[in-house]
C-alpha cells in the first residue's frame, strides 16, 4: 500500500513510460456524457447487471491473495475482451461487503464516458485514461484510489490493442504502489463474440463461466527497464495461460 507523498512523485516519473510525446505534461479533460448519454449508460448497466445475475460462475482462486489476514489493495489484470466480467468480479464472495471495492481504468474517449457512468451505477469507480490519452494523470488517480483501499482493475491490452499485448502502464502502477498484480482469466462456455479488434466476448444468459485468479506477480520498486519489460511479458503469459479462447 502507498504510504507517503513520495509515491505520487514516483508515479509522476514512472508515468512518462506510459504516455509519450507532448501529452506527458498536458492536462487532458476526459469526455463526460450528456443527459441522453447518462440514460444510455443506465440502460447499459441495467442490461449487464440483469444478464450477469444469470451467469453460473465457478470461482477458481490460486492467487492466495484473498485469504484471511491478507490486507492491502491489489491490481486485477484482465484482457479487454473479458471486460464484461467486471461487474461479476466485484461480487467475488471473499471480498468485503462493500459495493465500492474496485476502481477500473477506462478510456478518456466518448465511449469511455458511457462505460464509466455505467460502472458507477454498479458501484465501480471509473478512472479515465489510456496509454495514448491522459495516461500519466490516470496513473496518479489510480494510486490515490489504492491509498483509499480500493482494488484496481486494468485491461493491459486496451483500449485499442494490439490484442493480448501488455502495455507497461500496469507495471508502472504496481511499481509505485507495491501492490501485487492478480491475473484474471475466464472460460466462457456460451458466448457471443463481436467482430471487434479484441474479439469482445459477451457471455450469453445462463452461461457457465469458470473465473480464475492466477498466482500474483510483484514488481520491485527498483525494477530496471529490462525487468519491467520482462515483467510485462510475465503478466501476458499468465493471462494467456488462464484465458482459453
In a domain, 1, yes or no: no
First to last CA, the chain: 34
In a domain, 106, yes or no: yes
Lowest model confidence (mean pLDDT) among 8-22, 67-81, 125-139:
8-22
In a domain, 25, yes or no: no
Task: Give which of 228, 161, 152 is closest to 198, Cα–Cα.
Answer: 161
In a domain, 64, yes or no: yes
Range of the domain at 143: 6-20+32-241
Could you read off the pLDDT of 61-96 as tens digits, one per residue? 999 888 877 878 999 999 999 999 988 887 888 775
Task: Count structural domains, the chain.
Answer: 1
In a domain, 103, yes or no: yes
In a domain, 197, yes or no: yes
Q: Structure pTM? A: 0.82
In a domain, 26, yes or no: no
Assign 11 a pLDDT band (cuts: 50, 70, 90).
Answer: very low
Amino acid at each position: 500500500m502507498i504510504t507517503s507523498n513520495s509515491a505520487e512523485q514516483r508515479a509522476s516519473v514512472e508515468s512518462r513510460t506510459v504516455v509519450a510525446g507532448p501529452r506527458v505534461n498536458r492536462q487532458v479533460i476526459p469526455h463526460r456524457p450528456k443527459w441522453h448519454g447518462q440514460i444510455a449508460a443506465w440502460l447499459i448497466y441495467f442490461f449487464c447487471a440483469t444478464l450477469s445475475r444469470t451467469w453460473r460462475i465457478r470461482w477458481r482462486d490460486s492467487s492466495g491473495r484473498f485469504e484471511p489476514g491478507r490486507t492491502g489493495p491489489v491490481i486485477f489484470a484482465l484482457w479487454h475482451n473479458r471486460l464484461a466480467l467486471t461487474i461479476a468480479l466485484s461480487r467475488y464472495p471473499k471480498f468485503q461487503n462493500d459495493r465500492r471495492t474496485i476502481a477500473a481504468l477506462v478510456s478518456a474517449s466518448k465511449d469511455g464516458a458511457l462505460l464509466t457512468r455505467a460502472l458507477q451505477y454498479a458501484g465501480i469507480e471509473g478512472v479515465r485514461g489510456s496509454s495514448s490519452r491522459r495516461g500519466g494523470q490516470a496513473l496518479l488517480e489510480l494510486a490515490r484510489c489504492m491509498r483509499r483501499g480500493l482494488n484496481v482493475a486494468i485491461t493491459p491490452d486496451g483500449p485499442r490493442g494490439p490484442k493480448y499485448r501488455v502495455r507497461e502502464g500496469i507495471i508502472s502502477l504496481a511499481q509505485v504502489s507495491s501492490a501485487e498484480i492478480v491475473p484474471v482469466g475466464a472460460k466462457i462456455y456460451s458466448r457471443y463474440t463481436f467482430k471487434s479488434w479484441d474479439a469482445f466476448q459477451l457471455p450469453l444468459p445462463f452461461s457457465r463461466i469458470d473465473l480464475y485468479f492466477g498466482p500474483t506477480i510483484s514488481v520491485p520498486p527498483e525494477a530496471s527497464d529490462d525487468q519491467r519489460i520482462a515483467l510485462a511479458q510475465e503478466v501476458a503469459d499468465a493471462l494467456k495461460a488462464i484465458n482459453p479462447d
